[in-house]
Amino acid sequence: MQRYSPSLAFLLIDENVLEPERLTGLANACAVFFRMKRLEDPLALVTLVDELDRLLPEERHTGLRLALVDWLYDDYLPSHQLNIGDEMERTTSLAEVKTMLAEGTPDWFAHERNKGRLEGRVEGRLEGEARVLKRLLAQRFGSSLPAWVDQRLQGADEVELERLADAVLNAGSLEAVFAEQR
């Protein structure tokens, strides 16, 4: 039975230890693919898809090109929160994917940046409200507040912070301000 056992050779590539500088200098499809997976600036995706298109001639790599297009549509683009449903009709060509990305990418990322800015503003406003509330609590109940007060304020959303701010005015003790949370 020994002679019927498959003998396989393989090359293990640990993508977690690949150095980005070395990948940039290599002109092969694997290096481009790993650069794409580690891409920090998704706007550069257009350039990498173009490189793959040049490195994988259609007549010799039809199956691989189709697999890459499927991976882009089904895995890569959705994992980067790109809404490709309406903007991008499904194609089977890397060249067409590159063209569609080049036309649509700035709009997609502008939307994501604006969403991130809005989330940052909300987070900053909540931090400011919590800081003011902490000052009010310190003035009303003593400057050395217990550590649990910071924890409660950090985890509070806008509604909770407003309720706590209202409670500061009428509560007889620090514990009474947080009574509904406990």
What is the average pLDDT across 97-112?
A: 68
Q: What is the pLDDT of residue 86?
A: 47
**pLDDT at position 54 over 70:** yes
CA separation for the pair 179, 133 (Å, rounded): 16
**pLDDT at position 55 over 60:** yes
Q: What is the pLDDT of residue 96?
A: 85
**pLDDT at position 68 over 80:** yes
Q: What is the pLDDT of residues 140-172, one digit of tens each?
A: 888 788 989 888 888 888 888 888 888 888 888
At which residue do the structure tokens 């569609």 appear?
A: 100
Question: Residue 106 class from Cβ within 10 Å (0-12 exposed, 13-18 middle, 19+ buried)?
Answer: exposed
Q: What is the pLDDT of residue 123?
A: 82
Given a contact cutoff of 8 angstroms between Cβ atoms, the answer to whether 43 and 49 are in contact is no
CA separation for the pair 145, 134 (Å, rounded): 9
Banded model confidence at residue 114, pLDDT cuts 50, 70, 90? low
pTM given for the model: 0.51
DSSP state of 17: S
Given a contact cutoff of 8 angstroms between Cβ atoms, the answer to whether 130 and 153 are in contact is yes
Burial 6-38 (b: 16+ CB within 10 A, else e): eeeeeeeeeeeebeeeebeeeeebebbbbbbee
Banded model confidence at residue 64, pLDDT cuts 50, 70, 90? very high
For the chain, the farthest-separated pair of C-alpha atoms sits apart, in whole angstroms, at 86
Q: For residue 18, what are its two tokens?
A: 């690949």
